[in-house]
């Protein structure tokens, strides 16, 4: 079930009505209802994987109970290993077998046919949240849940199950423990986030994908430099609009039900350094990697070279978290190397001294990000190489580059330079409206967005991760 569909609108209306009725009349059943609704939401993709999701949740709950009893770190290590083994099986087993088969083929040895493992939607997200639960309980940041329903409701909560944001156990479990206040629903903010997310996903991301990005990445050799450039910039804007649009909708839907998710994107393309970019991009993942991987590895303690190693390792693991492909590994390694270089090169850690220096740093940062996203989007390294090679071909006429697509890509970048509090200002204007007027505005905005969008609803990019 995708957010921008009629079936989800019906689902949300029913969940909204039942949830708030339970909050008022039977608050003890709210968590049970959220769990049932979330499992029903997930079952639209696969009932089998729904059972698997529950198994992971019960596993994390059990480890949490053992970790809370202070029995050393053995159970925690076992829990993390178990969760990562689950992730590895679904995401990397087929890849590993294919790579081994390729190596054996070079030696003239026949290997058995590669496994075709179906990837459950959101597996990377719920596994990371399961790890967050176990570690937070071990560290004492969250109380171990006595009732497995709490952990299951946390892991499966439908706004974030498919593609995040990754919500920490220490942040979400206390919200489940105390039912939300029915007198205080941040309705204007929620509807604004949902409508804005819908626009980013349906209009900008979907049109750039079908018009500028997919045709070029499918066959770079058929396109010239202008098309390749638009595809590279277009994909950078597409993935931001797709993913931040999903995050905005998730945050808005959760807010309508009275739950808080942290912000996941903060105008990332206005960053003037890679370090700043990662403080603004997919914040829930980058901060997860920082707190659960980079810091335990030693962080920036132990000298410059050790810091650089930790950065590189964290980003490579962050890259392959996205999937089993050399392109993701290279994407993470490039980001890690660039982050390490920023720390090692004198002068790059201080703020730019002039406007010209700030613009130069922004341009360099942005283009490193764009180049890395070409690797991220390419199905293999050969395609990424072909994209780079076609940048020299200015003789082939542009086929996909239309003014509309260029304007959409420009709009996606331009949105980053709006004042940081622009949404808050609009929210304040909307907050004074009568609820019927507010709803009518939101409905009209959604109708306009869907009228401007290409036909159909493409899946969100991060559903595959």
Partner 1 sequence: MRQPWLRQAGDANGAGAPPDDFSPRSATIPVRRAALALAAALLLLAAGRSEAILDAAYGLPVAPGTEAAIAAAEAWNGALGELGVPGAMRRLRGLLSTGR
Residue 200 burial (C-beta neighbours within 10 Å; 0-12, 13-18, 19+): buried
Select the residue interacting with partner 1 from 9, 85, 100, 357 (CB under 8 A).
9
Q: Are 310 and 304 in contact (CB under 8 A)?
A: no
Determine the Cα–Cα distance for residues 92 and 69; give it in Å rounded to an integer: 33
Q: In terms of residues, how long is the chain?
A: 465
Q: Which of residues 268-287 bind partner 1 (CB under 8 A)?
A: 279-280, 283-284, 287
Select the residue interacting with partner 1 from 62, 148, 215, 262 (CB under 8 A).
262
Site string for partner 1, 425-464 (x = CB under 8 A): --xx--x---xx-xxx-xxx-xxx-xxx-x----------
Select the residue interacting with partner 1 from 41, 126, 261, 269 (CB under 8 A).
261
Closer to partner 1 at the Cβ: 99 or 427? 427
Residue 6: CB minimum distance to partner 1, A: 6
Is 367 among the catalytic positions? no
Q: Are 123 and 91 in contact (CB under 8 A)?
A: yes
181 binds partner 1 (CB under 8 A): yes
Determine the Cα–Cα distance for residues 18 and 33; give it in Å rounded to an integer: 8
Residue 428: CB minimum distance to partner 1, A: 7
Residue 328: CB minimum distance to partner 1, A: 23
25 binds partner 1 (CB under 8 A): no
Determine the Cα–Cα distance for residues 171 and 91; give it in Å rounded to an integer: 27
Closest listed residue to residue 115, CA positions, set 92, 148, 85: 92
Determine the Cα–Cα distance for residues 419 and 316; give it in Å rounded to an integer: 33
196 φ, ψ to 5°?
-65, -40
- Segment interacting with partner 1 (CB under 8 A) among 32-40, 95-103, 312-320, 423-431: 423-431
Site string for partner 1, 151-170 (x = CB under 8 A): ----------------xx--
Residue 171: CB minimum distance to partner 1, A: 5
Residue 421: CB minimum distance to partner 1, A: 9
Residue 299: CB minimum distance to partner 1, A: 12
Angle made by CA atoms 208, 288, 36, in degrees to the nearest 5 = 80
Residue 186: CB minimum distance to partner 1, A: 5
274 Cβ partners below 8 Å, 6+ apart?
335, 338, 339, 342, 365, 368, 369
Count of CB atoms within 10 A of residue 51's CB? 11
Can you tell me whether residue 266 is helix, strand or coil?
A: coil
424 binds partner 1 (CB under 8 A): yes
184 binds partner 1 (CB under 8 A): yes
Determine the Cα–Cα distance for residues 213 and 205; give it in Å rounded to an integer: 10
- Segment interacting with partner 1 (CB under 8 A) among 184-192, 223-231, 380-388, 389-397: 184-192
Q: Which of residues 341-380 bind partner 1 (CB under 8 A)?
A: none
From 260, 322, 335, 416, active-site residue: 322
What does the DSSP assignment read for 70-86? T-TTHHHHHHHHHHHHH
Total of chain residues touching partner 1, rule CB under 8 A? 68
271 Cβ partners below 8 Å, 6+ apart?
277, 279, 280, 362, 365, 366
423 binds partner 1 (CB under 8 A): yes
Closer to partner 1 at the Cβ: 174 or 296? 174
Site string for partner 1, 191-230 (x = CB under 8 A): x-x-------------x---x-------------------
Closest listed residue to residue 325, CA positions, set 283, 382, 284: 382
Closest listed residue to residue 69, CA positions, set 171, 138, 153: 138
Per DSSP, 380 falls in state: S
| The two structure tokens encoding residue 348 | 């790059």
- Segment interacting with partner 1 (CB under 8 A) among 9-17, 104-112, 303-311, 358-366: 9-17
Closer to partner 1 at the Cβ: 379 or 414? 414
Residue 379: CB minimum distance to partner 1, A: 26
Determine the Cα–Cα distance for residues 40 and 408; give it in Å rounded to an integer: 36
By the criterion CB under 8 A, which residues form the site for partner 1?
Answer: 6, 9, 13, 16-17, 20, 23, 167-168, 171, 174-175, 178-189, 191, 193, 207, 211, 251, 255-256, 258, 260-263, 266, 279-280, 283-284, 287, 290-291, 402-404, 420, 423-424, 427-428, 431, 435-436, 438-440, 442-444, 446-448, 450-452, 454
Q: Which residues are catalytic?
A: 322
């Amino acid at each position: 079930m995708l957010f921008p569909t009629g079936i989800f609108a019906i689902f949300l209306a029913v969940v909204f009505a039942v949830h708030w009725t339970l909050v008022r009349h039977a608050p003890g059943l709210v968590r049970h209802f959220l769990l049932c609704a979330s499992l029903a939401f997930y079952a639209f993709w696969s009932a089998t994987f729904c059972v698997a999701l529950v198994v992971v949740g019960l596993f994390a709950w059990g480890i949490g109970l053992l970790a809370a009893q202070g029995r050393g770190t053995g159970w925690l290590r076992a829990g993390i290993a178990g969760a990562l083994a689950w992730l590895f099986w679904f995401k990397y087993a087929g890849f590993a077998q294919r790579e081994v088969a390729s190596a054996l083929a070079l030696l003239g040895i026949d290997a058995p046919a590669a496994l075709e493992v179906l990837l459950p939607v959101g597996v990377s997200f719920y596994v990371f949240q399961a790890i967050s639960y176990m570690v937070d309980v071990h560290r004492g940041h969250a109380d171990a849940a006595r009732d497995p329903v709490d952990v299951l409701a946390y892991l499966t909560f439908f706004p974030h199950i498919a593609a995040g944001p990754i919500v920490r156990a220490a942040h979400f479990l206390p919200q489940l423990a105390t039912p939300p206040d029915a007198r205080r629903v941040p309705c204007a903010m929620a509807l604004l986030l949902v409508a804005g997310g819908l626009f980013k996903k349906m209009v900008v991301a979907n049109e750039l994908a079908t018009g500028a990005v997919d045709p070029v990445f499918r066959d770079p050799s058929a396109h010239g430099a202008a098309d390749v450039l638009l595809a590279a910039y277009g994909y950078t804007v597409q993935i931001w609009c797709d993913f931040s649009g999903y995050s905005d909708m998730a945050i808005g839907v959760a807010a309508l039900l009275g739950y808080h998710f942290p912000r996941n994107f903060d105008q990332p393309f206005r960053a003037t350094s890679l370090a700043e970019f990662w403080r603004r991009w997919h914040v829930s993942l980058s901060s997860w990697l920082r707190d659960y991987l980079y810091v335990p590895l030693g962080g920036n303690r132990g000298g410059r070279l050790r810091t650089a190693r930790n950065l590189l390792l964290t980003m490579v693991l962050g890259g392959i978290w996205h999937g089993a492909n050399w392109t993701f590994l290279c994407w993470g390694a490039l980001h890690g190397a660039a982050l390490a270089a920023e720390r090692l090169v004198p002068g790059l850690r201080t703020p730019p001294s002039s406007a010209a220096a700030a613009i130069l740093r922004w341009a360099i940062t942005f283009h490193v990000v764009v180049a890395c996203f070409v690797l991220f989007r390419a199905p293999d390294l050969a395609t990424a190489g072909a994209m780079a090679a076609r940048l020299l071909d200015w003789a082939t006429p542009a086929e996909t580059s239309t003014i509309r697509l260029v304007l959409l890509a420009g709009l996606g970048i331009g949105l980053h330079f709006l004042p940081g509090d622009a949404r808050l200002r609009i929210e304040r204007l909307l907050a004074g409206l009568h609820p019927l007027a507010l709803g009518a505005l939101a409905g009209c905005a959604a109708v306009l967005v869907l009228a401007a969008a290409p036909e159909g609803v493409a899946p969100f990019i991060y559903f595959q991760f």
